[in-house]
Structure 1
Amino acid sequence: MTSVSLLGPGDEPIVLGVTTPATPVRVPTTRRYLMCPPEYFTVEYAINPWMDPTQPISTSLAVQQWTDLKDTYERLGHKVDLIEPQPGLPDMVFSANSGTVIDGQVLGSRFRAEQRAAEADHFRRWFLANGYTNVVMPERTNEAEGDFTWTGKYLLAGTGFRTDPLAHSEAQEVLGVPVISLQLVDPRYYHLDVALFVLADDLVAYYPEAFSPGSQRVLRRLFPDAVIATAEDAECLGLNAVSDGRHVVLPVEATHLAEEVAKRGFEPVFVDISELRKSGGGPKCCTMELRD
């Protein structure tokens, strides 16, 4: 029986949990991500409960935190591609909202908020310029990996605040994968990716209270061994995390969630996303996975 620890932001040791001989050995897989530098990041409108245009924003701090996130991915052995940010699109940094890619098939996005609508076409052009030939732009509103989460077997699809329920069947037709609809009920957790993330294979972490009672039952049936997050985990956007099958990149405040995933054999990797969180985003929001 051994404890799992790593260094926190001040280089102090943090004990995150205890593993036992029965704890699975987690194996990372190399991922490819698409990210957008937050060169024009600010909060000049409010389209979710996290956004307050009256509060001060530091674009330079957002750039520093984003760069640390990108460097973390590359240090872990992952490949990061970049898309050029565009003036007037401060939320373009949240690249996860602009495309869902499975087996090289791309389903683009259609934003609900007019302030973000132009982002979709910039990403469409990036896909076409970078060798993707199967690119479909949706007829129904969907905010891509914000509400579409690929488990390797199912596409979990959120609705309730942003993505049109009819976009779920459209995703199934375009991507050719089974889709499971989940209803979100708490406006703070307006996208699926701030209420649930995939750790590995058939294991997820999620915050039950973000979902309708029926969706909670679906999640319990599909993932009986899931990591159950607390309100505190959710409130720091701890579930807006990224796992490569071993390493779990998550906000530095999510210490309870980190301890829980460490007990399952994962290695938490903390990042500071406090400035980006002012727009309702975290590590996953900044990270579109390119599954070629």
Structure 2
Amino acid sequence: MSDVSCSLPHAHSEQCHFQIAWTINPHMVPGSSDLEIAFTQHLNFKQLLRDAGAEVVELPFVCSAYDSVFTKDNALLLSSAGPASSVKPGASQLAVLANPLHGVRRAEQAGRKKALLSRGFSVVELPPQFKLEGGDLVVCAGHGIFMGHGFRSTLESAHALEVRIGVSVLPLKLVDPFLYHLDTALSVLKDGTAIACKRAFAPKSWELLVRSPWISKVIEVSEREALSFGCNLVQVGKTVILGSFLPGLMRSLKLQGYTPRYAPLSEFQRAGGSAACLVAEVHDHEALRSHAAGERSHATRESGLAGHTETLGLVTTSPTAARRSTSEYA
């Protein structure tokens, strides 16, 4: 998770905190969030994560990047030591840095890269033509990654990601601008249960999703529930944390054996994000790669980029090589 405000002293430090200062999605109305309420909601959400058993690591707020509180958008985090919420000593940790579409989000990435390097991650950067945002990535544990495209991430990025991390990536086209990131329209629980809004997807992509062997069951949410960020949830063990109170979805989760918990996140939802956006989970890389070894590439088939891996221009920075530049975050 990210801090909600900047900890570095500077001329405008009192104003350097989460706020809605621009409009890059249909939910955003500049000036509409309440900082005091946002602080309280963030604190309560963080405590609920810990109560559920998550190990929460806080990254610094990126100076003047007001959306940097949404840490999931910044990078895909992977570990060779299995699923975790933080770096494990001796484990191989990989962060695939996002290439955001909007300049106000790209401004976060240098600071996030430094913070991740200081935590022991090797950082992979895709070339700028491959637009990729963490909010468009939904990991299906032990299987692969669903990648949304249509508003922020580009279809070609699926193949670039698949080549670099050796994990199956299945692109899904999004069609509703209010559900602009895949994680606003889809969540996949660890048992393969998909929480999804049909309206958000192109018809072919919806069929690919519901017929995917990665999915064991689909709980279809209404448009109202999706627009209330019902799909943008966080799972910790058998606990599922929602940023909105949605009785119908909560009943469905209980029937599946889960314990739904409600952590109000209204101030962050005004900016277009909720529970999932605020958390960058570390995923089990080895389990994902093992499954991919037996599958034909989804991304290559969809994007038509087979045979072009030599042109991807990937860059990797190791924690050791970047140690000097990350000292302020150590």
TM bucket normalised to smaller: 0.7 to 0.9
Q: Give secondary structure in 2 for the equivalent of 1:181.
A: strand
TM (norm. structure 1) is 0.84
2:125 aligned with 1:137 = yes
Cα distance in structure 1, aligned partners of 2:2 and 2:95 = 18
Q: Match of 2:179? A: 189
Cα distance in structure 2, aligned partners of 1:277 and 1:239 = 12
Of 105, 108, 116, 1:127 maps to 116
- CA deviations over 1:76-129 (Å, ceiling 9, x no partner): 111111111133111000000001012332211111111111211111111211
Change (3 A) 1:43 1:225: same
Number of matched residues? 255
Cα distance in structure 2, aligned partners of 1:190 and 1:260 = 25
Cα distance in structure 2, aligned partners of 1:97 and 1:197 = 15
Q: Give secondary structure in 2 for the equivalent of 1:285.
A: helix
Q: Match of 1:117? A: 106
Q: Give secondary structure in 2 for the equivalent of 1:170.
A: helix
Offset, 1:239: 0.7
**Which amino acid in structure 2 is aligned with residue 229 of structure 1?**
V
2:149 aligned with 1:159 = yes
Whether the 8 Å CA contact 1:199–1:244 is kept in 2: the answer is: no
Higher strand share: 1
Q: Give secondary structure in 2 for the equivalent of 1:52.
A: coil
Q: Match of 2:163? A: 173
Cα distance in structure 2, aligned partners of 1:213 and 1:282 = 26
Whether the 8 Å CA contact 2:192–2:216 is kept in 1: the answer is: no
2:229 aligned with 1:252 = no
- CA deviations over 1:163-203 (Å, ceiling 9, x no partner): 01111111111221001010000000000000000112322
Q: Match of 2:39? A: 63
2:54 aligned with 1:78 = yes
Offset, 1:251: 2.1
**Which amino acid in structure 2 is aligned with residue 137 of structure 1?**
E
Offset, 1:62: 0.8
Cα distance in structure 1, aligned partners of 2:171 and 2:61 = 32
Q: Match of 2:210? A: 220
Q: Give secondary structure in 1 for the equivalent of 2:68.
A: coil
Q: Match of 1:51? A: 28
- Unaligned segments of structure 2, at least 5 residues: 6-16, 80-92, 285-330
TM (norm. structure 2) is 0.75
**Which amino acid in structure 1 is aligned with residue 169 of structure 2?**
V
- 1:93-104 equivalences in 2 (<5 Å): 93-103=69-79, 104=93
Q: Match of 2:84? A: none
Q: Match of 1:5? A: none
Offset, 1:224: 5.8
Offset, 1:291: 2.8
Offset, 1:61: 1.1
Of 265, 283, 286, 2:275 maps to 283
2:188 aligned with 1:211 = no
Q: Give secondary structure in 2 for the equivalent of 1:182.
A: strand
Q: Give secondary structure in 1 for the equivalent of 2:266.
A: coil
- Unaligned segments of structure 1, at least 5 residues: 1-34
2:221 aligned with 1:229 = yes
**Which amino acid in structure 1 is aligned with residue 197 of structure 2?**
Y
Q: Match of 1:263? A: 255
Cα distance in structure 2, aligned partners of 1:244 and 1:176 = 26
Cα distance in structure 2, aligned partners of 1:120 and 1:138 = 12
- CA deviations over 1:22-44 (Å, ceiling 9, x no partner): xxxxxxxxxxxxx1122211111
Change (3 A) 1:106 1:87: closer
Aligned-CA RMSD value: 1.3
**Which amino acid in structure 1 is aligned with residue 268 of structure 2?**
L
Q: Match of 2:11? A: none
Q: Match of 2:307? A: none
Q: Match of 1:242? A: 234
Q: Give secondary structure in 2 for the equivalent of 1:124.
A: helix
Whether the 8 Å CA contact 1:36–1:92 is kept in 2: the answer is: yes
Q: Match of 1:37? A: 3
